[in-house]
Structure 1
Amino acid sequence: MSLPSPDKSGTTSLEAIARNGSILRRMAVRIPTYLKDMRENPAWLPMFVLARTMPGRQLHWRGAKPAYPVRGAHKTIFTGVDRDAVVAGLRSEGLFSGLALPASIHEEIASFAQRTPCFGNFDRRLEFLPSGHKEAEAHFGRPLLSGHFFERVLDCDAALAVQRDPLLLDIAAHYLGGQAKMITTRVWWSFPSGGVSDAEKNLASLGKYHFDLDDWRMLKFFFYLVPVDDGTGPHVYVRGSHKRRILKHQLTLLVGHPADEVLSVYGEQSPVTLTGEAGLGFVEDPFGFHMGTVPTRAPRLMMEVGFGVSPPSRRRFDGEPVVR
């Protein structure tokens, strides 16, 4: 494919400002989206204010509806998965690793992701084929740490098979409550890139512990679509951080915090680094602290299927639609 011409406007993406600007500027660029969210769903504001606090979360968890077995849950592409063991691991650690995609599924998604153009750094102006990553960086004149497919993932039948697998909903319902629903799907690359600043790492959600605050209760399934070792940017999760939080981290508007600050609370032994072969899957409560590390040797290709309990938002804060 031919690459689009570099953007000379100097316009800074909303995502970049929201992650890298001053606190006041980061709040300011989000205001239009916040106002739309409040108009469409008045319940969004209490969630945004209170879901970061432990009392608010504990109160909301009490409203979880009973979960019943999902119809057809046995018709799953996964083998040897005990739903109750997964849920028990999530309640205890916030994380369960041990899911495995069939080879035919993860190979088909990886093939799709190799031949389909992606968008660099969440920006639709930065479109390129993953195999041409280095050439795209030179063409656009900037590091490209990530490549997202946005709604193009819906053109991949294997990705849809994962998204719609009844076992995922069954696990989500028994952890989150009977209100659980699928709220987002994405496939993306994380690339090695030289000369990357801390701000650019933050833009790609790499190298800094953070927690997600998109709903009162959430669950995210992740799948590696290529082999991932220490040089491929493995995902890291801080075990137990989903169920306790110091007051400072409850009252701040920021969701990202330095590693030394996080580990001083939860202990040096609390992080688990997830490495494994293509097809490895794990599920986490994303209110726990986690991060993607920066690939140094080879790009990482990953899929995410997220579940929540509230009506899903129609947009990300950077203006991109949420893919469901």
Structure 2
Amino acid sequence: MNRFSQILQSLRTQPGYTLMRGAARFGTVRQLVGQSRRLIQRRRLEAYLLQCEAQLQDSVFAPLDRLGFVGRLRRDGVAFGLKLPQSMVADILAFAKGNACYADRQVGRGFRLDSRAAAEAELGKPILVAQYFNAVAECGAIGRLARDPLLQWIAGAYLQSVPTFVGGNLWWTFPVQALAEDRDRHAHLFHRDVDDFRFFKFFFYLTDVEPGDGAHVCVLASHRKPPVLGIADRWNLRRYSDDEIAERYGVDDIVEICGGAGTGFAENTLCVHKGMTPTRAPRLLLQLQYALFDYGVMHDRRSLSTLAMLA
């Protein structure tokens, strides 16, 4: 399917999301919509933040310099300092081990972790990524995180609007010799996201992530300094090679994010970023995404009638 056909199909199936992506790749449009939303929701946002502050004692996170965190997220496009309780890490791992995940995020490719080899044999290829569906609804720990008052305060303060939780996703990345098309499909090449006019994500490692072994990599402040390597890059969204990014940015700007199980951070993934393929151990990652508007494409909800296991 060529690019034009893909756009036409997307317009038929996801018209709002497709039109947004066409407009939001331009910084002036993102700024105009964001500022308009901020003015419209100013009073609602003030009340929302006060409500979150009144509930901070219920957060699972240790006290945090919230203003500093949001300031770093605005400046660098990424902010660190979140840590999940080990009991919550254990709960999410137990959910992952007790439920089916789905190769390539395809509803008809379900398998359990102990049968991955059989699933790969049936597919005739190594499985790079496998996602859980309905995890936000079915895993109590993930649902609680999505409602955590500290995360909600950060979301409101950063977006400058009453935030919309648009979805959570939990997935494994396995240490395999992945096909080039799978590395492209699952964003293991540098790229930027345009998921709304203003948006960002929380990421949490549920397994230890050591240097060179499946880390998330981002380029600091690249949400404000996009990689314009040619005229078309001013509006084009594409994959970038490691060499292209190294040519555009300093080595100190390219950050490999490592940490033990429970490590959390926030990122505006309009920043240039990629996932690295693990080399030794599988990586389990949780993503929670907040934005201005919900286009219905970022969530993990799937009808049970559509889910099927690989034989």
TM-score by length of 1: 0.83
Corresponding residue for residue 235 of structure 1: 216
Compute the displacement of 1:26 (Å): 4.0
Show CA shifts across 1:253-303 (max 9, x none): x33222222232222221111111100000001111111100110100010
Q: 1:197 to 1:37 in 2, by over 3 A?
A: closer
Q: Does the 8 A contact of 1:186 with 1:323 survive in 2?
A: no
For 1:62, the aligned partner's letter is Q
Alignment partner of 1:256: what SS? coil
Q: Does the 8 A contact of 1:238 with 1:272 survive in 2?
A: yes
Does 2:21 match 1:35?
Answer: no
**Higher mean C-alpha displacement, 291-300 vs 46-55:** 46-55
Does 2:170 match 1:197?
Answer: no
Does 2:86 match 1:113?
Answer: no
Alignment partner of 1:143: what SS? coil
Show CA shifts across 1:176-223 (max 9, x none): 1123211111111001113x22211112221x1111112111110000
Corresponding residue for residue 108 of structure 2: 125
Corresponding residue for residue 25 of structure 1: 2
Q: How many residues align?
A: 289
Corresponding residue for residue 70 of structure 2: 87
Alignment partner of 1:210: what SS? coil
Q: Does the 8 A contact of 2:11 with 2:19 survive in 1?
A: no
Show CA shifts across 1:163-186 (max 9, x none): 111211110111111232111111
Does 2:230 match 1:249?
Answer: no
Q: Can you give the 5+ residue segments of structure 1 that lack an aligned partner in the other structure?
A: 1-23
2:262 aligned residue (279, 299, 302) = 279
Q: Can you give the 5+ residue segments of structure 2 that lack an aligned partner in the other structure?
A: 303-311
Q: How does 1:82-231 map to 2 (within 5 A)?
A: 82-194=65-177, 196-206=178-188, 208-231=189-212
Alignment partner of 1:62: what SS? helix
Q: Does the 8 A contact of 1:90 with 1:96 survive in 2?
A: yes
TM-score by length of 2: 0.86
Q: Does the 8 A contact of 2:132 with 2:300 survive in 1?
A: no
Alignment partner of 2:247: what SS? helix
Alignment partner of 2:134: what SS? helix
Q: Does the 8 A contact of 2:136 with 2:142 survive in 1?
A: yes
Alignment partner of 1:33: what SS? helix
1:58 aligned residue (10, 27, 31) = 31
For 1:28, the aligned partner's letter is S
Aligned partners of 2:126 and 2:233: how far apart in 1? 31
Q: Does the 8 A contact of 1:184 with 1:306 survive in 2?
A: yes
Q: Does the 8 A contact of 1:54 with 1:250 survive in 2?
A: no
Q: 1:87 to 1:57 in 2, by over 3 A?
A: same
For 1:77, the aligned partner's letter is V
For 1:92, the aligned partner's letter is R
Name the structure with the higher helix share: 2
